[in-house]
A = this chain, B = another copy of it.
């Protein structure tokens, strides 16, 4: 966690943004989760941070590229660490309860994914910057 905070602080500093107490709390809450979290989930674990500040912190951290935003099965936005701070991964999305958990592909699998992405985008005039692979179904507790 130390290393993470240092990396983030540096990145924020490069943009003239501070890593304050509130932002550090939000960062830790998201970093220790095992999948993308909604604002209210985060707020639930952080009762010292008011909602308005939480949303502002989330926006700042997304803006700075520390968090990635994710719009999943339900209509609420979820936040997770950007990929330069974690491993590249994909998602198992539960169509019943909306929860999302992470899966990491092997190097070989990821190479296959990369080739597919190239093939799909190749035909259109589209500048690829990333991809998301989401697997839908029912999680262990909903099936």
Contact = CB atoms under 8 A, between A and B. Distances in A.
The oligomer's copy count stands at 2
Interface string A114-129: 0011011101111111
Interface stretch (A20-28, A46-54, A131-139): A131-139
A10 interface: no
A72 B135 CA distance: 15
Size class of the A contact interface (CB-based, 8 Å): 35 or more
A109 interface: yes
Nearest to A92: B126
A97 B11 CA distance: 26
A138 B137 CA distance: 29
Contacts of A138: 126-127, 129
Contact of A77 (B75, B117, B134): B75
A73 interface: yes
26 contacts: A71-B71, A75-B77, A92-B120, A101-B124, A109-B116, A109-B119, A109-B120, A113-B116, A116-B133, A120-B133, A125-B140, A125-B143, A126-B135, A126-B138, A126-B140, A127-B138, A128-B137, A129-B136, A129-B138, A130-B135, A130-B137, A131-B136, A132-B133, A132-B134, A133-B133, A133-B134
